[in-house]
Chains A and B, each alone.
Chain A
Amino acid sequence: GNSVTQMEGPVTLSEEAFLTINCTYTATGYPSLFWYVQYPGEGLQLLLKATKADDKGSNKGFEATYRKETTSFHLEKGSVQVSDSAVYFCALPTSGTYKYIFGTGTRLKVLA
Chain B
Amino acid sequence: GAGVSQSPSNKVTEKGKDVELRCDPISGHTALYWYRQSLGQGLEFLIYFQGNSAPDKSGLPSDRFSAERTGGSVSTLTIQRTQQEDSAVYLCASSFRRDRGTDTQYFGPGTRLTVL
Q: Please give the residue numbers on chain A whose beta carbons come within 8 Å of chain B beta carbons, in ascending order.
A: 6, 31-32, 34, 36, 42-46, 49, 51, 89, 91-93, 97-105
- Would A104 and B107 count as touching, CB distance under 8 A? no
Interface size of B by CB at 8 A reads 29
1/0 per residue, CB under 8 A from A, across B38-76: the answer is 001111010010100000101100000000000000000
- Would B43 and A102 count as touching, CB distance under 8 A? yes
A-B interface pairs (CB < 8 A), number: 62
Answer yes or no: B91 CB below 8 A from chain A CBs: yes
Within 8 A of A (CB), among B1-51: 3-4, 31, 33, 35, 40-43, 45, 48, 50
The answer for the CA separation of A101 and B101 in the assembled complex, in Å, is 11
The answer for the CA separation of A6 and B110 in the assembled complex, in Å, is 23
- Would A104 and B101 count as touching, CB distance under 8 A? no
Within 8 A of A (CB), among B67-116: 91, 93, 97, 100-110
Q: How near does chain A come to B18, taking the closest CB pair, in angstroms? A: 25
Candidates A32, A89, A97, A103; contact of B102 at CB < 8 Å? A32
The answer for the CA separation of A51 and B102 in the assembled complex, in Å, is 7
- Would A98 and B100 count as touching, CB distance under 8 A? yes
- Would A93 and B91 count as touching, CB distance under 8 A? no
